[in-house]
Amino acid sequence: MTNKPNKTRTLREDWRMIRRAIGIWNQITPHFWLWSTVCSAAETVMPYFTMILSAMTVNELAGDCDVRQLAFLAAVTVLGSFLLSLLVRALQAKRALFDTQLWNQHELFFVNVQNRLQYEHLENPDVVLLRSKIFAAFNATGGGLYTVRWVVAALPGHILNIFLSVSLTVSMFTCRADGDFTGIWAFLNSPVSAFVLLALIGVNIVLSVRTISASTKKENEAVSGLAENNTLMGVLNRAWGTDVILFDLNRIILDEFRKCNLRPAWCEKWEKITLHYGILGTLLAAGRNLLLYLFVAVKAYLGTFGIGNFLLYQGTIDRFVGSVSGLSADIGRLRYNNVYLEQLYEFLDLPNDMYKGTLAVEKRDDNDYEIEFRDVSFRYPRTDTWALRHVSMKFRIGDKLAIVGENGSGKSTFIKLLCRLYDPTEGKILLNGIDITRYRYDEYMALFSVVFQDYALFAFPLGENVAANCDYDAGRVRDCLIRAGMGDKLASLDADGGDALLRCVGQDYDKTGIDFSGGEKQKIALARALYKNAPFVILDEPTAALDPIAEAAVYENFNILVKDKTAVFISHRLSSCRFCDTIAVFDHGELVQSGCHDRLIADEDGKYCRLWGAQAQYYEK
């Protein structure tokens, strides 16, 4: 993944990108735009209602001063304002309901996107950095989807404001005062002055849009340096624990914090941008306001309209200026927000090249499945080094297969290919004689229950963690926990009162949660694999966090634990593999030996015997 060269986008390309973002929000919150537009319309109309009636009231006071007419205007003003206020409050409450869910919806959208990504992308550092850039922009300026949502939601209000203010103000430009005027006064009383004024305002607006666009562009360039900085800050924020205290790592952490926070280059650049363009934008807005207010004052001085209309025009001009400024600013933000949308769409459009077949996996009550690796070789993307080379082997239903080897020998890669997180670079993997790529991906994945070393438990109830579902069979969950060695712990938790399965794992969100030990957490992860009840159970160092007694109990009861399922067992402790039917020995990506323990240990020149001897010598001493 490489950085794309900068290029100027056309208005059509800009609009296409913005329209896609609007479509994404429409999928996340389907009715937001409708309620937002209606609410903006009501909020916009309400001040004009008050301004018009106030102008009519002042004109009546300055003119005939009819008491009945004044009373009528007062009643309509009070009652109308009251009803409009109720309507606006109701619409604002509805819009606020969408807004309160905004952050969660944004996060959930990205979680769903990541869940659909090809596994290769999750291990790609370029993709990780791209995602970091997306969230750096979001955290710094709201860049990306957030900006589109807020800006597009504000556009109807700006547009309606401009339409209403122009409609109510147009008479100010067309009307003329009675009388004979000469010189500058004659020019100001003529329609030509209105055209000159509008032309000056138009130039001012164009300059404002250019200023805002340039400012936003410079901000984007400054923010581009935030991704690496934020990633490091996130790592430092998680750096806590025993090692930090024992090795006094706070010194290093604080130094890195200072490097991140003490006025980095992008921060100084941003400050200059904000100051420079902020002053320029303020001057342009002040010039625009001055022109309009002078024109209104001169028209009133010439007697073109009454004092009520003077107040009305002042109000409408205020709203016109504010809306034009807001609209020009929002257009600039939208256009240059597309820099962030480009990054977002690059992430969303990451290809999923993994072929997904249509063949259904046969549902067998006897779990009679056979897996075969046929001359399989594999190398990871972006590398020329082979992680596996010419691996051929079979294992049948009910087999207990142990995979051993030194670090980097290809054990984890073998499991990733078996679970189809990656496809082989060369060769085939067969299920009951059929290439696994021909099967439906979800149905093939359902065949495996896996406990990796980096398993994840969540701050959810214990029962939900085991079942990986909110709805679960409590009896079955308990049975799996007991088989995994958690029987005594369950009994003690139940004795404390309440259902143990309803207690949360950890106390992150619930003070009554249970802080399980590392070994207990590993047993819970093992119970989760058992609950899935898949034909294949894959255990990656399943006893690494267990004490020797608990480890021995797992091995002694291993056949009971997995019953008639096919079990693939990865371990560095060779003594734990003796109960397996077959032991596959990997070395530098190749399957160098295969057989039972007695057969392999008899081959004194073999890799397994050397590994066994290297571990046994410490016990013998």
Ranges of each domain in the chain: 11-29+101-348, 371-620
Region 522-528 average pLDDT: 88
What is the structure's pLDDT at 346?
Answer: 92
Selection from 2, 9, 1 nearest residue 337 by Cα: 9
Selection from 587, 573, 583, 574 nearest residue 387 by Cα: 587
What is the structure's pLDDT at 7?
Answer: 59
332 or 588, greater pLDDT: 588
**The domain defined by 371-620 carries CATH number 3.90.1150.110:** no
What is the structure's pLDDT at 312?
Answer: 79
pLDDT at position 570 over 60:
yes
**Can you state the angle between helices 487-495 and 474-483, rounded to 10 degrees?**
130
- 562 confidence band (pLDDT: 50, 70, 90): confident
Pairing outcome for strands 426-431 and 434-435: antiparallel
Q: Which residues contact 96 (CB under 8 A, 6 or more apart)?
A: none
Highest mean pLDDT among 217-226, 334-343, 468-477: 468-477
Decide: 465 and 458 in contact? Cβ < 8 Å.
yes
Region 299-303 average pLDDT: 74
372 or 235, greater pLDDT: 372
SS (H, E, C) 449-508: EEECCCCCCCCCEHHHHHHCCCCCCHHHHHHHHHHCCCHHHHHHHHHCCCCHHHCEECCC
* Dist. CA 292–CA 318, nearest whole Å: 9
CB atoms < 10 A from the CB of 473, how many?
A: 13
Region 375-379 average pLDDT: 95
519 or 475, greater pLDDT: 475
> DSSP character for 87?
H
What is the structure's pLDDT at 365?
Answer: 67
Phi, psi of 127 (to 5 degrees): -70, -40
CA dihedral over 485, 487, 493, 496, signed as positive or negative: negative
Name the percent of the chain lying above pLDDT 70.
81
> DSSP character for 565?
S
**Rg of the chain, C-alpha, whole Å:** 36
* Dist. CA 569–CA 179, nearest whole Å: 102
Least confident of 204-208, 307-311, 344-348, 587-591: 204-208
What is the structure's pLDDT at 216?
Answer: 62
Mean model confidence pLDDT for the chain: 80
Number of alpha carbons in the 13 Å side-chain half-sphere of residue 377 = 6
128 or 268, greater pLDDT: 128
- Secondary structure element (H or E) that encloses residue 403, with its range: strand 400-404
pLDDT at position 233 over 60:
no
Least confident of 140-144, 352-356, 437-441: 140-144
- Give exposure, 368-399, as e/b (b: 16+ Cβ within 10 Å): ebebbbeebbbbbeeeeebbbbebeeebebbb
pLDDT at position 514 over 80:
yes
pLDDT at position 430 over 90:
yes
CB atoms < 10 A from the CB of 298, how many?
A: 16
Least confident of 24-28, 222-226, 442-446, 526-530: 222-226
Q: Which residues contact 102 (CB under 8 A, 6 or more apart)?
A: 29, 146, 149
Q: Which structure tokens are listed for 497?
A: 């009162």
Topology classification of domain 11-29+101-348: ABC transporter transmembrane region fold (1.20.1560)
Least confident of 221-225, 259-263, 305-309, 590-594: 259-263
What is the structure's pLDDT at 3?
Answer: 46
Number of alpha carbons in the 13 Å side-chain half-sphere of residue 129 = 11
Helix (H, G, I), strand (E, B) or coil at 247: coil
**What angle (nearest 5°) sits at the alpha carbon of residue 601, between those of residues 599 and 607?**
110
What is the structure's pLDDT at 106?
Answer: 81
Is residue 36 exposed (0-12), middle (13-18) or buried (19+ Cβ within 10 Å)?
buried
